[in-house]
């Protein structure tokens, strides 16, 4: 039995495809989830015209319509209630965004901004059209 040569077959390992498939799957799930996080705007809201078709309103913005009504994440809200939610989610300075309807009364937008500042927002941004 010692005369038999023992041969071993060496198999080359192929590229591991399972980890690659897992990464692609996780990326797909990530993009599906992030696309659903932003609540759609009320169809009655008429935003400032923008030439960018890829514009997505920030999900944490307070929307003020043409009648001065305030909504936050699709629900009628007050500045204080929205600030409470934003403060609980903020990891640093509390920033608030206002997304006004183009027909919203200017005094209502200014009053909302002042209310947010008095409520503790360190910065208030008004999301508008970018000038050409």
Q: Give pTM, 2 decimals.
A: 0.56
pLDDT of residue 10: 62
pLDDT of residue 88: 85
pLDDT of residue 132: 38
Which residue's structure tokens are 């994440």? 73
pLDDT of residue 128: 74
Ranges of the chain whose pLDDT falls below 50: 50-51, 131-132
Which residues contact residue 59 at a Cβ distance below 8 angstroms, ignoring those fewer than 6 apart? 37, 38, 39, 73
Cα gap 4→74, rounded to integer Å: 80
């Amino acid at each position: 039995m010692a005369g038999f040569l023992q041969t071993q077959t060496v198999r080359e390992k192929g590229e591991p495809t399972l980890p690659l498939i897992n990464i692609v799957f996780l990326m797909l799930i990530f993009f599906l989830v992030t696309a659903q996080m932003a609540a759609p705007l009320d169809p009655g809201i008429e935003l400032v015209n923008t030439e960018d078709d890829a514009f997505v309103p920030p999900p944490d913005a307070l929307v003020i319509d043409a009648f001065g009504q305030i909504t936050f994440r699709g629900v009628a809200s007050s500045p204080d209630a929205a600030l409470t939610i934003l403060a609980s989610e903020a990891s640093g300075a509390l920033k608030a965004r206002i997304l006004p309807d183009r027909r919203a009364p200017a005094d209502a937008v200014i009053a909302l901004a002042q209310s947010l500042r008095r409520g503790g927002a360190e910065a208030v941004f008004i999301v508008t059209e970018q000038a050409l």
